[in-house]
Amino acid sequence: MAEPHDLTALEQAAAMTRGELSSVDLVEHSLRRVAALGDTVGAFVTVTPDLARQAARAADAVPIEERGPLHGVPTAIKDLTLTAGVRTTFGSAAFLDFVPPVDADVVRFIKAAGLVSLGKTTTSELGCSLYSEGRVAPPARNPWQLAYTAGGSSGGAAAAVAAGLVPVAQGS
């Protein structure tokens, strides 16, 4: 089998269904990659390893026949998207310590589908520019050419997927 980060989200889910991998395996693998590469590519503004591990254990406890197509697969949420209990800066130092009490609808849907979030991806300040560089995280970079931006306000999500930190990430 290929390295977990070389598998698509659907391939990761299929490997779990076959019993070759667990959500905990995938989350731990992804967290190691985030620790090694996350700042280099500027993918994450906030990493939530404890919440991710807890969600992965819960995902693994669900019987296989009750799982959806992406159940247990690691993902990440754009830092413009409200996530209950997780720092959400909107890419701005003005919101450096903001922790929303509620989830945005898309986050509720992601959680209901059984995906496991590793944290929040870098975005441009308030989502207003064509690059993801701000004062709250390293700039999002193209993993294949670090001199280039990952682009757009979802640059952190793009960098996370392109660098194999997660197989799929929420953007807007």
**Are the beta carbons of 150 and 42 closer than 8 angstroms?**
yes
Residue 36 belongs to a domain:
yes
In a domain, 172, yes or no: no
Taken in order 52, 53, 59, 64, the sign of the CA dihedral is positive
Asked if pLDDT for residue 7 goes beyond 80, the answer is yes
Check residue 1 and give its pLDDT: 64
- Asked whether residue 79 is assigned to any structural domain, the reply reads yes
Q: Is residue 170 one of the residues assigned to a domain?
A: no
Give the count of beta carbons closer than 10 Å to the beta carbon of residue 57.
14
Cβ neighbours of residue 26 under 8 Å, at least 6 residues apart? 4, 12, 16, 56, 72, 73, 74, 116
For residue 169, being part of any structural domain is answered with no
Residue pLDDT, tens place only, 88-138: 999 999 999 999 999 999 999 999 999 999 999 999 888 787 777 778 888
pLDDT in tens, 52-95: 999 999 999 999 999 999 999 999 999 999 999 999 999 999 99
Please indicate, yes or no, if residue 109 is contained in any of the structural domains.
yes
- Is 90 exceeded by the pLDDT of residue 48? yes
Beta-carbon count within 10 A of 66 CB: 8
**Residue 154, in any domain of the structure:** yes
Model pLDDT, residue 11: 96
Total domains in the fold of the chain? 1
CATH of the domain at 58: 3.90.1300.10
- With respect to residue 171, please indicate whether it lies within any of the assigned structural domains: no
Three-state SS for 132? coil
Domain of 133?
4-162
